[in-house]
Structure 1
Amino acid sequence: MERQLEKHLEETCRVPGISGALCADNNGLCLAARGCKPELAGHVASIAQQAAQLHPNSSTTPVICVESEGGSVLIKSENDVTMAMFKTPL
């Protein structure tokens, strides 16, 4: 399973505009990272958990976009795994 995850992250980082990708569990443990710091896993998981509390009765989890001058980060949780994609401005 670990090899499949690594393969998917590698493919994701080949997409134009994507500079990094990260997967974390619900406790903020980094499962895999490419093109970004693994130390960000805890922050990414925490942001996803806090955003889910905004609509606690929703059947779907939110997609969070954090934007800055240096790019953006898209964060989404699904099945106890949180995924973050780091995008650079084009």
Structure 2
Amino acid sequence: MEKNLEKQLDETFRIPGVTGVLCTDKNGLCLAAKGTAKKQTSGPISALARQAKDVSSQAGTSPVVCIESETGSVLIKSEDGLTVAVFKAS
């Protein structure tokens, strides 16, 4: 699984503007982090994805959380027990 995960993270970096990628399990354990993504953010990222799902008006769906700042954005999505955060530069 680790090689497949690493391959997917590497492929994500091919998208223009991507500066970091983080993957965490449903408990907030960091499975992988590359680029500007910091391992210590895996818990809060997982918690944000869980909270977004709880407040989503569409039952059974996993919303995408987007956090924007002046320097870039973070897109967070949870699916099948994994949460992925993609960090993009502006």
Q: TM-score, normalised by structure 2?
A: 0.93
| Amino acid aligned to 2:54 | Q
Residue 56 (structure 1) shift:
6.5
Structure 1 unmatched ranges of 5 or more: none
Please say if residues 13 and 34 of structure 1, whose CA atoms lie closer than 8 Å, have aligned partners that are also in contact. no
Please say if residues 12 and 21 of structure 1, whose CA atoms lie closer than 8 Å, have aligned partners that are also in contact. yes
Aligned-partner SS, 1:43: helix
| Amino acid aligned to 1:71 | G
Q: For the residues of structure 2 that align with 1:37 and 1:77, how far apart are their CA atoms?
A: 18
Residue 57 (structure 1) shift:
5.6
* Most deviating of 7-16 and 65-74: 7-16
Structure 1 residue ranges (4+ consecutive) displaced by more than 3 angstroms after TM superposition:
none
Counterparts of 1:34-73 in structure 2, within 5 Å, are 34-35=34-35, 36-55=37-56, 58-73=59-74
Structure 2 unmatched ranges of 5 or more: none
RMSD of Structure 2 on Structure 1 (CA): 1.2
Counterparts of 1:8-87 in structure 2, within 5 Å, are 8-35=8-35, 36-55=37-56, 58-87=59-88
Identical positions, percent: 53
